[in-house]
């Protein structure tokens, strides 16, 4: 296939940035999107130009590193996958493809398609954990049976890969889907319930501090989320938050 | 140069660890605050170590090259984690896990280390559940298990096909808690480039901030390397793109011996290579072998027709299928260990029975499992005389609940529906048993420098059993290193902060700077990937699934030539003062080009076959591996001498007091 790529290039966080056009040829439909980017980059290096910087690592949809906004959609046109799992067979010969970084105030661009998502880490540091030491003196793993349904639901929420597509897809740049996934996972398990109130208050406070927007229930996040994290997590978090704020002592 | 002393404690096997813990030096809580520890890597090993050390009171500085500790390569582990809990009451015990691991490793690992691993395994599951790791459960609310290759009990705990992710997020949350408290200082997007050794002790590192390009000096009283495995020396592997040997290789060059580098694991069930553009290979978890049956056509003409696309696998009748693992190894069938399964696939494909376009693939078929589960489910639901379609639909739902994400992953890559037609798989490089040599305390041959997780060599011998890497990473990080490091640090409570203003730091930084300058000013004509791919070809063809003397000697020559060419002709664009992925890759490939030669040398030296290391000269008439215990019951520990091809070999003899060395048979 022959394609025309229109890619966001930005030398550093301060630079203005612009869209640059690159033609690519000989793209096989079996290539992944990132392998297509490899082909472009190899060509650029051979021409003595700087390759396009983008984040990626596992290339199998689990590390959450890859993050391209392709033709106006986070992770591109396919559903339930990350950029690295997108394959060129989803495109046609002659297509023009627009590639941009995630856009959000809380995700500043570092270079080209690479953004800084450490705001997510800071939200986690504010409360995304169970306060238990790793001493090995915990009780037996089977001491507290957990209904399979709860365990499965917690698991589903826990599969969030922290990619940020939800934020990039949201017109308000809200991080509610990401935060609510963690809050839900821990709120559903007996181990996490103990400090559930503190957790939700602290995580939401940090989320606001980072400059993420509000949730207006548009649901774009759920559509673009590669892991199918459900909006019901946001509803659960809202309930948790409300009840925690009502009973908060400090 | 230090002597090889494995420091295995005295006493009976099952008392060694307890006795050792009771006898080693401790650092009191007030003094821990005076001590800094650097941890390179935030995977299961590094993440759990950093969190535990910080909880104990040490000041931890943790480093990873990704943008967040949560993205370490451990996240990709799919199938599960072993622990001798015996929840299934199927006769499992610490001893059995120990024995399976020793046997699975083909008697090339240390008894004491492996026993300790089995001993602490149960704790790991308790710990992870307490952290909120959502393992799979049964309807009664208790934890579920599955079985993995090479064993006959069900001791593998799992979270669908995302076990590594869930465990790593557990460790990451423990880290996050300590980062929030200020006990861990996290350095994301930083790459360790050099180790700093002062008076024979590891005292710090030089790291490059990958965003600004700045070289930074960091000092500490001990340095822990948890940088993962080196499978990417083959270019194509199931490892993440950034996985590398740099941290381990840098300490090797500074005096840490590198053990058993030739012990690499080729995983039998990966999605086959589809073309030259391929950048990495994707694993299909071994857990699939619980339910999938592996086969190729019995008749050559059928195989040819399948390759040509004129015959569908579903059109081949039962009698015309060769379930070669069930045929050759009736006792273990599709659940033979990885090395055995991989070689058997290669054998069938080399003999002309391979099934995809390239002829390098075999089928992994779920139709029997779907049918079996469907019937069970129909029984449970009280459906009498269900139609075949109904059975298959019910069965598919069960299989989807078990392996849904893996099937989806397969479908996205191959564009084929594995519920309807068998998957195609082929072996691929997956894991490296070899690594930095460590003693019982996990210390390398450099004082105060430790190696944990896949980066060390210690527990898996010549072949790792499935679901044991996650176990080892977390055992090292949560339960072993936090104790053993105290024994060394106890002598350091009066040392005070280590200055970074010293000739040793100057020298280390200069080394890094010179190397970067070389790359930036080289004006070569070929990309880093060009060299990496060529290295990968040499490694796969000559130092891969089957090795022989002539091929290995040739590989050594070819790698040396390639290395020279790389330094003369590699082209790195852009600037060193900012994010520059090509520069990062160049540094990593430079180290792979040295490691590759050492791997070939090690494979040449070990003229026996054992575990994942198969020397064609050493096989039985039936083509099974032939171990040579008389001459090779040792760990090869290589000392760097300035030229990887002239490394000095030290041997650590392996002593087996508790198990009898047997021919590993899975028949
Ligand atoms: C696809 C796949 C599936 C697997 N499935 C299973 C399974 O089901 N069960 C099982 O037991 N095992 C499995 N394994 C093996 C297991 O996942 C790994 O062996 C294990 O996770 C390694 O953990 P680690 O902590 O040692 O290293 P990693 O998780 O690889 O972490 C390495 C860390 O080091 C950092 N790092 C590396 N170099 C540098 C440097 N120079 N400077 C700074 N930081 C650096 C990285 O950023 C990263 O944080 C699987 C492996 C693969 C590839
Ligand atoms: S909720 Fe979905 S889109 Fe958002 S970070 Fe998690 S996986 Fe990505
Ligand atoms: S590169 Fe890991 S999710 Fe895409």
At B118 the three-state DSSP class reads helix
- Taking the C-alpha atoms of residue B365 and residue B314, their distance in angstroms, rounded to an integer, is 10
Same domain, yes or no: B413 and B530: no
Q: Chain-wide mean pLDDT for chain B?
A: 95
Q: How far apart are the first and last CA of chain A?
A: 62
Q: What is the pLDDT of residues B173-182, one digit of tens each?
A: 999 999 999 9
pLDDT higher than 80, residue A175: yes
- Assess contact for A108 and A115: CB atoms under 8 A: yes
- Listed residue (B168, B169, B209) closest to B186, CA to CA: B209
Segment B471-500 shows an average pLDDT of: 97
- CATH number of the structural domain spanning residue B592: 1.20.58.100
DSSP string, B562-615: HHHHHHHHB---S-SSS--HHHHHHHHHHHHHHHHHHHHHHHHH--S-BTTB-B
Judge if B313 and B403 occupy the same domain: yes
Most ligand 1 atoms within 8 A of CB, residue of B38, B433, B438, B454 to mutate: B454
Provide ipTM, 2 decimals: 0.98
CA–CA separation, A179 and A124 (whole Å): 8
Give per-residue pLDDT as tens, A198-245: 999 999 999 999 999 999 999 999 999 999 999 999 999 999 999 999
Burial pattern B224-248, b for ≥16 Cβ within 10 A else e, equals bbbbbbbbbbbbbbbbbbbbbbbbb
**pLDDT (0 to 100) of residue B310:** 95
Contact (Cβ atoms closer than 8 angstroms) between residue B257 and residue B436: yes
CB nearest to B141's CB, from A30, A124, A147: A147
Closest to B495 measured CA to CA, from B2, B26, B36: B36
Q: Is residue B319 assigned to a domain?
A: yes
Quote the pLDDT of residue B1: 43
B127 three-class SS: helix
| Residue B404 pLDDT grade (very low, low, confident, very high; cuts 50, 70, 90) | confident
- In this prediction, residue B663 carries a pLDDT of 83
pLDDT-derived band at B2 (thresholds 50, 70, 90) equals: very low
Residue B578, domain member (yes or no): yes
Residue B117 Cβ < 6 Å to ligand 1: no
Together in a domain, B315 and B424: yes
B149 within a domain of the structure (yes/no): no
Mean pLDDT for B201-207 is 98
Residue B350 placed within a domain:
yes
Residues B298 and B416 in one domain: yes
- Check the CA dihedral B631-B634-B639-B644 and report its sign: positive
Q: B137 an active-site residue? A: no
pLDDT in tens, B605-620: 999 999 999 999 999 9
Residue B304 lies in a domain: yes
Which two three-digit tokens encode residue B490?
């106890």
Q: Alpha-carbon dihedral of residues B459, B463, B467, B469, nearest 10 degrees?
A: 40
The residues that bridge with A99 in the sheet, in sequence order, are A7, A70
pLDDT at A250: 54
Nearest 5°: the CA angle B249, B253, B258 is 60
Angle at the Cα of B525 from the Cα atoms of B519 and B529, rounded to 5 degrees: 70
Strand partners for B296: B322
Nearest CA to ligand 1 atom 33: B41
Residue B455 to chain A, least CA–CA distance (Å):
18
Rounded to the nearest whole angstrom, what is the distance from the C-alpha of residue B127 to the centroid of ligand 1?
20
B517-528 pLDDT, tens digit per residue, is: 999 999 999 999
**Cβ atoms B576, B209 nearer than 8 A:** no
The secondary structure element, H or E, covering residue B485 is helix B481-489
Residue B556's H or E segment, with its range, is helix B549-569
Q: Do B173 and A129 touch (CB under 8 A)?
A: yes
Q: Could you tell me if A66 and A55 are in contact, meaning their C-beta atoms sit under 8 angstroms apart?
A: yes
Last residue of a domain, one of B380, B410, B429: B429
Asked whether the predicted pLDDT for residue B402 surpasses 90, the reply is no
* Cβ(A237) – ligand 2 distance below 6 Å: no
What pLDDT is stored for residue B456 in this prediction?
A: 98
Catalytic-role residue among B289, B338, B588, B615: B338
Cα Rg of chain B (Å, integer): 25
Instruction: Identify all chain B residues contacting A189, using CB atoms and an 8 Å cutoff.
Output: 132, 134
CB neighbours of B22 closer than 8 A, spacing ≥ 6?
none
Phi, psi (5° rounding) for residue A57?
-150, -65
Q: In terms of domains, do B422 and B277 share one?
A: yes
- Residues framing ligand 3 (Cβ under 6 A): A 56-59, 61-66, 82-84
Residue A60 is nearest to which of B123, B409, B529, comparing CB atoms?
B409
Which residue carries 């044991």 as its tokens? B468
CB of A129 less than 8 A from some CB of B: yes
How far is B198 from chain A, CA to nearest CA, in Å?
A: 32
Question: Per the domain annotation, does B292 fall within a domain?
Answer: yes
Burial code of B28-39, b = ≥16 C-beta within 10 A, e = fewer? eeebbebbbbbb
B597 CB contacts (<8 Å, ≥6 apart)? B556, B559, B560, B563, B644, B645
CB B5 within 8 A of CB B441: no
A181 alpha carbon, closest ligand = 2
Interface mutation vs chain A, best among B47, B67, B244, most A CBs within 10 Å: B67
Last residue of a domain, one of B404, B429, B454: B429
Tokens of A41: 């980059």
Please list every residue in chain B whose beta carbon sits closer than 8 Å to the beta carbon of residue A125. 176-177, 179-180
Give the other-Cβ count within 10 Å of B366's Cβ: 23
- Cβ contact B166:B159 at 8 Å: yes
Q: What Cα–Cα distance (Å) separates residue B196 from each residue in A143, B48, B215, B495?
A: 47, 24, 13, 17
Q: What is the pLDDT of residue B529?
A: 97
What residue owns the CA closest to ligand 1's atom 51?
B77
Same domain, B518 and B422: no
Beta bridge partners of A87: A32
Strand order in the sheet with A69-70: A18-24, A3-9, A96-100, A69-70, A73-74
Of B176, B277, B529, the CB nearest to A28: B277
Residues B424 and B517 in one domain: no
Domain that includes residue B550, residue range: 509-632
Q: Assign residue B106 a region: left if phi > 0, alpha if psi is -120 to 50, beta otherwise?
A: left
Please report the number of interchain residue pairs, chain A to chain B, with beta-carbon separation below 8 angstroms.
215
- Please report, rounded to a whole number, the percentage of residues in chain B having pLDDT higher than 90: 92
Domains and CATH numbers, chain A: 3-110 (3.10.20.30), 118-249 (1.10.1060.10)
Residue A249: its pLDDT value, please?
61
Whether residues A114 and B579 touch (CB distance < 8 A) is answered with yes
Q: For A61-95, what is each residue's pLDDT tens digit?
A: 999 999 999 999 999 999 999 999 999 999 999 99
- CA dihedral (B342, B346, B349, B353) positive or negative: negative
For chain B, say whether A43 makes contact (Cβ under 8 Å): no
Q: Rounded to 5 degrees, what angle do the CA atoms B555, B558, B560 make? A: 110
Closest CA to B43 of B409, B380, B428, B453: B453
Q: What is the pLDDT of residues A14-60, one digit of tens each?
A: 999 999 999 999 999 999 999 999 999 999 999 999 999 999 999 99
Q: Ligand 1 test: best mutation among B117, B204, B228, most atoms within 8 Å of CB? A: B228
pLDDT per position as a tens digit, B16-55: 999 999 999 999 999 999 999 999 999 999 999 999 999 9
Average pLDDT over residues B306-312: 95
* Structural domain count, chain B: 2
B421 with B514, same domain: the answer is: no
φ, ψ of residue B304 in degrees (nearest 5)? -65, -40
Of B120, B110, B50, B46, which Cα lies nearest the Cα of B82?
B120
What's residue B3's pLDDT?
61
Distance B452 CA to ligand 1 centre (A): 11
pLDDT at B357 over 60: yes
* Any domain includes B464: no
Output the residue whose Cα is nearest ligand 3's atom 3: A61
The answer to whether residue B251 is domain-embedded is: no
Instruction: Report pLDDT digits (tens) over B220-261.
Output: 999 999 999 999 999 999 999 999 999 999 999 999 999 999
Q: Is B393 found in the same domain as B287?
A: yes
CA dihedral (B115, B119, B125, B127) in degrees, to 10, reads: -120
**Of residues B216, B222, B217, the one with CA closest to residue B27:** B222
Q: Are B543 and A12 in contact (CB under 8 A)?
A: no
Phi, psi (deg, nearest 5) at residue A60? -140, 25
Q: How far is B141 from chain A (nearest CA, A)?
A: 4
Place of tokens 């699934």: B545
Q: Does A139 touch chain B (CB under 8 A)?
A: yes
**Would you say B266 and B614 are in contact if contact means Cβ atoms under 8 Å apart?**
no
B433-466 pLDDT, tens digit each = 999 999 999 999 999 999 999 999 989 999 999 9
């Amino acid at each position: 296939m022959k394609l025309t790529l229109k890619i966001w290039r930005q030398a550093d966080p301060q630079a203005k940035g612009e869209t640059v056009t690159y033609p690519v040829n000989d793209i096989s439909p079996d290539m992944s999107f990132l392998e297509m980017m490899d082909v472009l980059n190899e060509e650029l290096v051979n021409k003595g130009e700087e390759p396009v910087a983008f984040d990626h690592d596992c290339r199998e949809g689990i590390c959450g590193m890859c993050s391209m906004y392709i033709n106006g959609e986070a992770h591109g046109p396919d559903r339930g996958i990350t950029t690295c799992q997108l394959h060129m067979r989803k495109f046609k010969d002659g297509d023009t493809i627009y590639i941009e970084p995630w856009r959000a105030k809380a995700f500043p661009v570092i270079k080209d398609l690479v953004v800084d998502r450490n705001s997510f880490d800071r939200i986690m540091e504010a409360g995304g954990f169970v306060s238990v030491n790793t001493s090995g003196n915990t009780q037996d793993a089977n001491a507290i049976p957990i209904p399979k349904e709860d365990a499965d639901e917690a698991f589903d929420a826990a599969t969030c890969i922290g990619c940020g597509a939800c934020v990039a897809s949201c017109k308000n740049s809200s991080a509610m889907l990401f935060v609510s996934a963690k809050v839900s996972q821990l709120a559903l398990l007996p181990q996490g319930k103990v400090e559930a109130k503190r957790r939700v208050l602290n995580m939401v406070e940090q989320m606001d501090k980072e400059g993420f927007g509000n949730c207006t229930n548009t649901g774009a996040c759920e559509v673009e989320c590669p892991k199918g994290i459900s909006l019901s997590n946001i509803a659960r978090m809202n309930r948790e938050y409300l009840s925690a704020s009502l009973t908060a002592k400090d | 140069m230090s002597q090889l002393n494995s420091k295995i404690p005295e006493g009976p096997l099952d008392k060694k660890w307890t006795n050792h813990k009771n006898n080693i030096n401790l650092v009191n809580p007030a003094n821990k605050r005076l001590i800094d520890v650097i941890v390179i890597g935030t995977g299961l090993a590094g993440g759990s170590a950093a969190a535990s050390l910080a909880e104990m009171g040490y000041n931890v500085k943790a480093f990873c090259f990704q943008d967040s500790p949560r993205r370490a390569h451990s996240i990709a582990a799919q199938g599960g984690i072993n622990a001798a809990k015996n929840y299934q009451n199927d006769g499992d015990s610490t001893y059995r896990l120990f024995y399976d691991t020793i046997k699975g490793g083909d008697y090339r690992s240390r008894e004491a280390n492996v026993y300790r691993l089995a001993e602490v395994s149960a704790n790991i599951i308790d710990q992870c559940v307490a952290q909120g790791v959502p393992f799979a459960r049964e309807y009664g609310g208790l934890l579920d298990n599955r079985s993995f290759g090479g064993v006959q009990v069900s001791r593998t705990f799992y979270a669908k096909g995302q076990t590594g992710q869930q465990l790593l997020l557990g460790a990451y949350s423990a880290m996050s808690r300590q980062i929030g408290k200020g006990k861990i200082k996290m350095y994301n997007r930083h790459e360790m480039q050099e180790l700093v050794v002062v008076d024979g002790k590891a005292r710090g590192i030089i790291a490059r901030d990958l965003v600004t390009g700045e070289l930074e000096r960091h000092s500490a009283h001990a340095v822990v390397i948890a940088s993962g495995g080196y499978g990417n020396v083959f270019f194509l592997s199931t490892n993440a793109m950034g996985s590398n040997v740099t941290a381990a290789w840098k300490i090797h060059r500074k005096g840490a011996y590198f053990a058993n580098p030739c012990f690499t694991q080729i995983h039998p069930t990966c999605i086959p290579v589809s073309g030259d553009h391929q950048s990495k290979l994707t694993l299909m978890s071994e857990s699939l072998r619980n339910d999938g049956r592996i086969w190729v056509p019995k008749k050559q003409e059928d195989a040819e027709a399948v390759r040509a696309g004129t015959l569908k696998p579903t059109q081949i009748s039962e009698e015309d299928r060769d379930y070669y693992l069930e045929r050759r190894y009736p006792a273990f069938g599709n659940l033979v260990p990885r090395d055995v399964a991989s070689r058997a696939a290669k054998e069938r494909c080399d003999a002309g029975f391979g099934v995809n376009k390239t002829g390098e693939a075999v089928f992994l078929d779920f139709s029997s499992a779907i049918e079996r589960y469907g019937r069970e489910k129909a029984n449970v639901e009280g459906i009498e005389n269900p139609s075949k379609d109904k059975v298959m639909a019910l069965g598919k739902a069960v299989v989807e609940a078990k392996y849904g994400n893996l099937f989806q992953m397969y479908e996205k890559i191959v564009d084929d529906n594995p519920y309807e037609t068998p998957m195609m798989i082929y072996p691929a490089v997956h894991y490296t048993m070899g690594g930095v040599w460590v003693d019982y305390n996990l210390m390398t041959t450099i004082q105060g420098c430790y190696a944990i997780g896949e980066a060390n060599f210690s527990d898996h011998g010549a072949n790792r059993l499935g679901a044991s890497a996650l176990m080892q990473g977390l055992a090292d990080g949560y339960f072993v290193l936090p104790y053993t490091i105290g024994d060394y640090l106890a002598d350091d409570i009066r040392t005070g902060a280590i200055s970074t203003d010293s000739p040793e730091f100057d020298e280390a930084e200069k080394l890094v700077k010179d190397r970067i300058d070389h790359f930036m000013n080289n004006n070569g004509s070929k990309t880093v990937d060009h060299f990496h791919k060529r290295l990968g070809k040499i490694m796969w063809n000559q130092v891969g699934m089957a090795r022989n003397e002539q091929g290995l000697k040739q590989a050594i020559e070819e790698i040396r030539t390639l290395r020279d060419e790389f330094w003369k002709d590699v082209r790195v664009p852009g600037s060193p003062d900012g994010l520059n992925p090509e520069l990062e890759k160049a540094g990593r490939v430079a180290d792979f080009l040295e490691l590759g030669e050492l791997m070939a040398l090690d494979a040449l030296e070990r003229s026996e076959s054992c575990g994942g290391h198969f020397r064609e000269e050493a096989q039985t008439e039936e083509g099974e591996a032939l171990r040579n215990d008389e001459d090779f019951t040792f760990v090869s520990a290589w000392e760097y001498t300035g030229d990887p091809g002239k490394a000095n070999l030290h041997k650590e003899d392996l002593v087996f007091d508790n198990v009898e060395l047997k021919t590993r048979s899975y028949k």
